[in-house]
Amino acid sequence: MDVTASALSPRRITRQIAVGSVKVGGDAPISVQSMTTTKTANVDATLEQIYALAGAGADIVRCTCNERAAAEGLAQIVPRSPVPIVADIHFHVEMALAALEAGVQGLRLNPGNLRKPQEIKLVAAEARDRGVPIRIGVNAGSLHPDIYERFGGATPEALVESARIELAYFEEVGFSDVKISVKASSVATMIAAYRLASSTFDHPLHLGVTEAGPLPGGLLKGTAGIATLLAEGIGDTLRYSLTADPVEEARAGRQLLEALGLRERKGLDLIACPSCGRAEVDVIKVANEAQAALAELKLPIQVAVMGCVVNGPGEARHADLGIAAGKKRGHLFIQGQIVRVVPEDEMVQALVDEAKKIAAEGVAARLAARDLGAEAEAAADRALLLDAKGADANHAAQRIEQIRHRTQS
């Protein structure tokens, strides 16, 4: 966890449970989840997707268990999976029991679909005896009709009440190995529901905006809800619910946690300026090319692509590595220090080469190996650009004088 995370609200401490080898709640890192879209009975296709999800940053993967063939598939999938598997259960208690027989590391029950108290308690007792946690997965779109009518809709209070009733059934059989979600497709409702859940339960919370939709809107809605709560210290695990390849869900979850400083960087973090009148290159094109080339390296590195040699290195001095574009040349810098000046058509390759060397040798060694004449060359480029563009393009001195004149009393 870095300085970014320390600027957020203190994380709310919850009970800790274990989904297989992954701890959830307490002081455990916030975990990323996703769900397969394959037929669970198709073991090879499902495993292929699980490995892709794990590679993209998923710590836990959920698979549907809606029929006997799916449960039989889980029995073959679980021992071969690189991450813990949670079985998604909706209407049939038999499928929950079958998934437990298959050896899954977690269950997700929807209180709106599995409604009979005796069946709920049966599953909880079986999970208790096997040491398997359950997520109470409340969804605004499938609330019990009685709760919906009592609260006048899928309100935050209704969602939390649904979870409370389910939890009471669990407690009757001495089962407390639980995490809770209170999802809604409305971002505002979701945020309010989780805030209420956070003050009501001490169980870990699974965050998500359900049915968020396709990219880019679904990503925006998911981030709006999940990031708001994480910034308030609420949440122990999360899933983006996107109408897209589930790998996008895992990638988004991981990147969000890294951006907030809540997980150690695992892959590339490319930052780039939005460009301005000083830019001498197509910053968008260079940034996209750099993103594609550097992502393949799978290095935990922050790289900056800046369109201006005047401000670029200073503005991005926190980056591990960066390039600032000048007139037909690029200033390659490491943590704000110019190490080389390269031709414009070699900028992306220079970033790739230097990233590999930083990974192999470390930042200190690469700074020691810098071109000693690079800073002088860079200074000359900056001076030329300032002469061409004007050091005071906004005529600040003249404007300040006018401001003083207008504000004199």
| pLDDT per residue rounded down to tens, the chain (409 residues) | 455 667 899 999 999 999 999 999 999 999 999 999 999 999 999 999 999 999 999 999 999 999 999 999 999 999 999 999 999 998 899 999 999 999 999 999 999 888 899 999 999 999 999 999 999 999 999 999 999 999 999 999 999 999 999 999 999 999 999 999 999 999 999 999 999 999 999 999 999 999 999 999 999 999 999 999 999 999 999 999 999 999 999 999 999 999 999 999 888 899 888 776 666 678 888 999 999 999 989 899 999 998 877 777 777 788 899 998 877 889 999 999 999 999 989 999 999 999 999 999 999 999 999 999 988 888 887 777 666 555 555 566 777 787 888 787 5
Task: Specify the 3-state DSSP secondary structure of 276.
Answer: coil
Assign residue 315 a region (left: φ > 0; alpha: ψ between -120 and 50; beta: otherwise). alpha
Helix 217-231 vs helix 246-259: angle between axes, to the nearest 10 degrees? 40
Under CATH, what is the fold of the domain 3-259? TIM Barrel (3.20.20)
What's domain 269-389's superfamily in CATH? Sulfite Reductase Hemoprotein, domain 1 (3.30.413.10)
Please choose, from the candidates 358, 304, 357, the residue with its C-alpha nearest in 3D space to the C-alpha of residue 332.
Answer: 304
Residue with tokens 């965050």: 207
Full-model pTM: 0.85
Name the pairing type of β-strands 269-272 and 22-24: unpaired
**Distances in Å between the alpha carbon of 300 and those of 38, 223, 248, 307, 359?**
30, 22, 19, 23, 9
User: Edge-to-edge strand order for the sheet containing 302-306?
Assistant: 269-272, 302-306, 321-325, 329-334, 337-343
Residue spans per domain, the chain: 3-259, 269-389
* pLDDT at residue 57 in the model: 94
Whether the Cβ atoms of residue 141 and residue 162 lie closer than 8 Å to each other: no
Task: Specify the 3-state DSSP secondary structure of 156.
Answer: helix
To the nearest 10°, the Cα dihedral for 90, 95, 101, 105? -10
Please state, as a whole number, how many other Cβ atoms lie within 10 Å of the Cβ of residue 376: 12
